[in-house]
Every structure is written in C-alpha cells, then in structure tokens.
Amino acid sequence: MHVENWIHLCVDMQRMFADHTPWHVPWMAEVSPQIIELSSRFPERTIFTRFVPPASADAMPGMWKTYYEKWDVMTSKHLPSELVDIVPSLRKLIPPARVFDKRTYSPWIDGRLKAALSGDNVGSVVISGGETDVCVLAAALGAVDLGYRVILLKDAVCSSADQTHDASLELLGDRFSVQVQIMETERWLSEAGQSEYGSRRR
C-alpha cells in the first residue's frame, strides 16, 4: 500500500469534549493513547481541527442559530476560552503540528484546509478523533468528495453514543469501501513507518 503524501487529520480533540461539560465524550480517554502515539510520531503531518462555538446563537445562520439556542451554555459568552483548546497532551505538539478552526462539523467548508493540502500534494487523509458519528463522519465524507483516499483509524475515533459510533464505522467501511479503508492504529503506524524509512533511503 502506497502511504506517502498523507496527513493525519485529528478531529476536535478539545478540552470541552474531554472535560466534564455538557458535550463530554467519555470514550475520548480510551482513544487518546493511539492518537497521542500517531501525532507524536508524525507531528509534522498532523493537523488538529477545533470546533469553535460562536459568541451567541445570533452570530450563526439558519439552523445553527437554533442549535446554539439549545446549547447556549456552550457559546463562548459562557464557555471558558481555554476549553476550546486542544487537550494538553496534544497541544504541546503545535508546532510543527497545525491547527484549523471551524464553525461547522466539516473542516472542508471554507476551503482553507483543502488549499493547505494542495500545496503538499496530499493524496491520503488519515482520520482520528471525535465524534465518529458527527464531525469525524463529516470530515471523512468531505475528504471522499474531494478525492482523497481516507484511512479511518477505528481504535482512534470515539463518540458519546455507542450505537451510532458502530453504525458510522459500518457505513463507512461498507458503502464507501472503495474510497475509505478502516484499520487499527498499530497497523497504520507500521505501514507509515516503513514508508518513511523507504523514502529516507532513496
């Protein structure tokens, strides 16, 4: 398997999901070791996304306004700013790891991420983070639409809802099997490490 020209897209590993907020994702602690291992080994290939809430519901269009009327406690006028940041165990990798902020589930909407990857001739996107059935799913489908090969690390993604986490992995692995490959982090690290060694020898 050709694994050069890839990036690791780590989705929303933020304190507001790791800490005990209304958006707490308990399984984040379970997948963190795999994410830390991959990010630490390849920080220069890692991009962290951050889901950044608005100051208030009125700052958002359409149904996003309705969404934040429900989750007013998670708008930035109430949420401490430090909770929006990447968890400390990963934050220390920036730089060389990069951060892309987003207001939507998908990181691809405004075009900045795609533009950044175009300059690096990236062909594959390796995805970790949370939540499997929301932002990870949106990131994966957006990458598929843009023509990337997607590698989803099933032991490095998490959700607060087990049933839809499992369903999302089944959906991506079944209906999108030509464009999405699902594998364990250890296997990817082995294949990526072999590729890095080979490229250094050439």
Residue 184 lies in a domain: yes
Q: What is the mean pLDDT of the chain?
A: 93
Cα 23 to Cα 189: distance, rounded to the nearest angstrom: 30
Question: For residue 59, is it within any domain?
Answer: no
Residue at 84 is within a domain: yes
Instruction: Tell me, yes or no, whether 60 lies in a domain.
Output: no
> Residue 199: pLDDT above 80?
no
Report yes or no on 75 lying in a domain. Answer: no
Q: How many domains does the chain have?
A: 1
The pLDDT assigned to 120 comes to 84
What is the rounded distance in angstroms from the CA atom of residue 120 to the CA atom of residue 38?
19
Residue 44, domain extent: 6-53+80-200
Backbone φ and ψ for 149, nearest 5 degrees, come out as -75, 130
- pLDDT-derived band at 34 (thresholds 50, 70, 90) equals very high
pLDDT at 157 over 60: yes
What strands lie across the sheet with 46-51, from one edge to the other? 98-102, 46-51, 6-11, 124-130, 149-158, 180-183
Determine what percent of the chain is predicted with pLDDT higher than 70.
94
Residue 36 domain-assigned? yes
Give the CATH number for residue 146. Answer: 3.40.50.850
* pLDDT in the model for residue 191: 86
pLDDT band at residue 119 under the 50/70/90 scheme: confident
Q: Would you say residue 193 lies in a domain?
A: yes
pLDDT tens, 37-51?
Answer: 999 999 999 999 999
Is 169 within a domain? yes
What is the rounded average pLDDT of the residues 42-67?
97
Residue 95 neighbours by CB distance under 10 Å: 8
Cis ω on the peptide bond leading into residue 53 (within 30° of 0)?
Answer: no
pLDDT at 193: 74
Which residues, other chains included, contact 75 with Cβ-Cβ below 8 Å and sequence gap of 6+?
53, 54, 55, 56, 57, 68
pTM given for the model:
0.93
